[in-house]
Amino acid sequence: MAQRAVWLISREPGTPFCGTVRFSRRYPTVEKRAKVFNGASYVPIPEDGPFLKALLFELRLLDDEEDFIESRDSCSHINKTSVYGLLIGGGELWPVVAFLKNNMIYACVPLVEQTLSPHPPLISISGISQGFELLFGVQDFLSLSQKNDTELNTKLNQLPDLLLQACPFGTLLDANLQNSLDSINFASVTHSQKQPAWKVGTYKGKPQVSISITEKVKSMQYDKQDIADTWQVVGTVTCKCDLEGIMPNVTISLSLPTNGSPLQDILVHPCVTSLDSAILTSSSIDAMDDSAFSGPYKFPLTPPLESFNLCYYTSQVPVPPILGFYQMKEEEIQVKITVNLKLHESVKNNFEFCEAHIPFYNRGPITHVDYKVSFGQLEVFREKSSLVWIIGQKFPKSMEINLSGTVTFGAKSHEKQSFDEICIGGTAYLKLHFRILDYTLTGCYADQHSVQVFASGKPKISTRKL
């Protein structure tokens, strides 16, 4: 379950190597074991340079996409997971766990405690999931409140010390690197009782529990006979429990109004100590019916110090919040567009913002737009070939708005416009971005009575819906 090495590589298209190794860490004692376990199939961990090159090649991130290269483009070279084999120095380095996120490539090589030829199934290698967890942990740490390059560099500079703490010998002790950072600072605290490893200290101060629920709706509307429209709500419940004592017990309940949409596919934080089987089995796979479990959803837990995601869920609301209609007609260098949007009456008509993005792919820059909107205003981004319809805070009383117009394009310049494989010819889309404060589509809520705390002091409880 140990890792032989870890890398962070920033992707830099256009530079000679197309990337730079920003961080790497090797574990020689694990390497020692790998050599014995893997026997004749052992391939040593390469130096950073060759690794960078081989990984970028395998991930298709080098700028040499032009030619057919068998070792990468062959039809039998099928990758179905984020685990790769890299050809390095005549051998195959496997398994390399790697993924790209926000222009940073996260990679590690887990130890496999057996021979590598033939490759054992990934499911049988404990180091694979540990490797993923390590990389997710690093990713979370880097992306947490990261705004610019300087902050990224600061965090990258902290990584060696953090991994010395969280993964001293290649076996991961805690994927939450922020915890390790805190534990360096908390070192002076003396512990008398059993202290959870995921909680580096204790809270001192006014007790307080805050819960916030965020729901996102993902909807695709085709308005076509043969393709079903989809809309799914994904919810995240975030908590911060500032409570005294080492192991305070808390129970948080989520409730639905009578006509609320049941929560499904619930995944909880590991600090939840037990789960009702109704919560465990409620799933979007099943056909919906009235007998579906509709709460309250109780989560008994012992909270960590930091803010955490208590649970994620999905839900199938009966109708999409906004029903859209988008039509595009191509006429030589012009396209005619018509957009209708209708807010469903059950949805709270009070937006923080609401805007419709209308991109045009595989065309030149916009040279001219003739348009008519019934509501809001239209912004034109000529170079980006896109329109943004700013609807604002409220739909009008009719709940229905529309836009029609003609867009003219200039000549296509190949360098700037990126190629889109889907939006070709008459295929196009409009994307709606909006946020409604203090409202959930499912109706899911937590209030003062939803939280039971078994600890000293009466906590202040604040809940909000985003």
Interface positions, 67-86, toward other proteins (CB under 8 A): 68, 70, 72-82
Among positions 406-425, residues that touch other proteins (CB under 8 A) are: 419, 421-422, 424
* Minimum distance, C-beta of residue 347 to other proteins, in the bound complex (Å): 20
Tell me the CB-side half-sphere exposure of residue 116, using CA atoms within 13 A.
22
* Minimum distance, C-beta of residue 101 to other proteins, in the bound complex (Å): 8
Q: How many residues in total does the chain contain?
A: 466
**Phi/psi at 443 (5° precision):** 90, 0
Residue closer to other proteins by CB (options 97, 391) is 97
Residue closer to other proteins by CB (options 119, 342) is 119
Gap between the Cα atoms of 250 and 120, Å rounded? 43
Gap between the Cα atoms of 398 and 384, Å rounded? 32
Among positions 213-242, residues that touch other proteins (CB under 8 A) are: 218, 232, 234, 236
Tell me the CB-side half-sphere exposure of residue 59, using CA atoms within 13 A.
25
Residue closer to other proteins by CB (options 184, 455) is 184
Stretch of 94-102, 147-155, 203-211, 368-376 contacting other proteins, by CB under 8 A: 94-102
And the tokens for 334? 């012009």
- With contact defined as beta carbons under 8 Å apart, do 331 and 409 qualify? no
- With contact defined as beta carbons under 8 Å apart, do 71 and 103 qualify? no
- The reply to whether 464 sits near other proteins by the rule CB under 8 A is no
Among positions 138-157, residues that touch other proteins (CB under 8 A) are: none
Among positions 371-390, residues that touch other proteins (CB under 8 A) are: none
Of 315, 283, 144, whose CA–CA distance to 213 is shortest?
315
Among positions 184-213, residues that touch other proteins (CB under 8 A) are: 187-188, 190-198
Stretch of 12-20, 141-149, 170-178, 290-298 contacting other proteins, by CB under 8 A: 170-178
Gap between the Cα atoms of 114 and 129, Å rounded? 17
DSSP state of 413: -
Residue closer to other proteins by CB (options 284, 327) is 284
Q: Using alpha carbons, list the distances in angstroms from residue 171 to 47, 174, 251.
A: 21, 9, 33
**Full 3-state SS string of 123-188:** HHCHHHHHHHHHHHHHHHHHHCCCCCHHHHHHHHHHHHHHHHHHCCCCCCCCCCHHHHHHHHHCCC
DSSP state of 54: H
- Name the residue with tokens 């319809």: 389
Q: Which of 62, 113, 278, 295 binds other proteins (CB under 8 A)?
A: 113
* Minimum distance, C-beta of residue 116 to other proteins, in the bound complex (Å): 10
* Minimum distance, C-beta of residue 334 to other proteins, in the bound complex (Å): 23
Q: Which of 71, 145, 148, 274 binds other proteins (CB under 8 A)?
A: 274
Q: Which of 66, 149, 289, 332 binds other proteins (CB under 8 A)?
A: 66
Among positions 39-58, residues that touch other proteins (CB under 8 A) are: 39, 47-49
- The reply to whether 173 sits near other proteins by the rule CB under 8 A is yes
* Minimum distance, C-beta of residue 421 to other proteins, in the bound complex (Å): 5
# of chain residues touching other proteins (CB under 8 A): 105
- The reply to whether 182 sits near other proteins by the rule CB under 8 A is no
How many CB atoms neighbour CB 39 within 10 A? Answer: 12
Residue closer to other proteins by CB (options 4, 401) is 4
Q: Which of 10, 212, 284, 408 binds other proteins (CB under 8 A)?
A: 284
E-strand ranges in 55-149 read: 83-88, 91-101, 104-110
Stretch of 12-20, 25-33, 289-297, 326-334 contacting other proteins, by CB under 8 A: 25-33
Among positions 290-319, residues that touch other proteins (CB under 8 A) are: 302, 312, 314
And the tokens for 18? 């197309």
Chain centroid to Cα 447, Å, comes to 27
Binding mask 1-20 for other proteins (x = CB under 8 A): xx------------------
Q: Which of 277, 291, 413, 448 binds other proteins (CB under 8 A)?
A: 277
* Minimum distance, C-beta of residue 182 to other proteins, in the bound complex (Å): 13
DSSP state of 33: H
Of 58, 84, 61, 63, whose CA–CA distance to 73 is shortest?
58
Of 133, 199, 128, 136, whose CA–CA distance to 172 is shortest?
133
Binding mask 122-141 for other proteins (x = CB under 8 A): xxxxx-xxx-xxx-x-----
* Minimum distance, C-beta of residue 125 to other proteins, in the bound complex (Å): 7
